[in-house]
Amino acid sequence: MKVLSGKNILIATDLIENAGRIEELKELNINSKIWDLSNGMNDIELKAIGYYNLDLEDFLRNASI
């Protein structure tokens, strides 16, 4: 994690509620933002549409283009 100190990073987490750890990264001087692919949906809503716990690769592979 030290190599990220002083850097700006974008995190694409798995599609679950509360997946990010921004505070821990701030303590290491890492400026980060989370890309919220869930569009604010909770775990129940994500499960209902079949997106719960998908990561970015899963989401892109299964998305209709």
Q: Please report, for the chain, the start and end positions of each structural domain, with discontinuous segments joined by +.
A: 2-62
CA-to-CA dists, residue 22 to 25, 26, 27, 47, 64, angstroms: 5, 6, 9, 25, 30
Q: What is the pTM of this model?
A: 0.57
- Rounded to a whole number of angstroms, the distance between the first and last alpha carbons of the chain is 35
Band the pLDDT of 23: cuts 50, 70, 90.
confident
Res 45: pLDDT:
92
Is the model's pLDDT at 44 over the cut of 90? yes
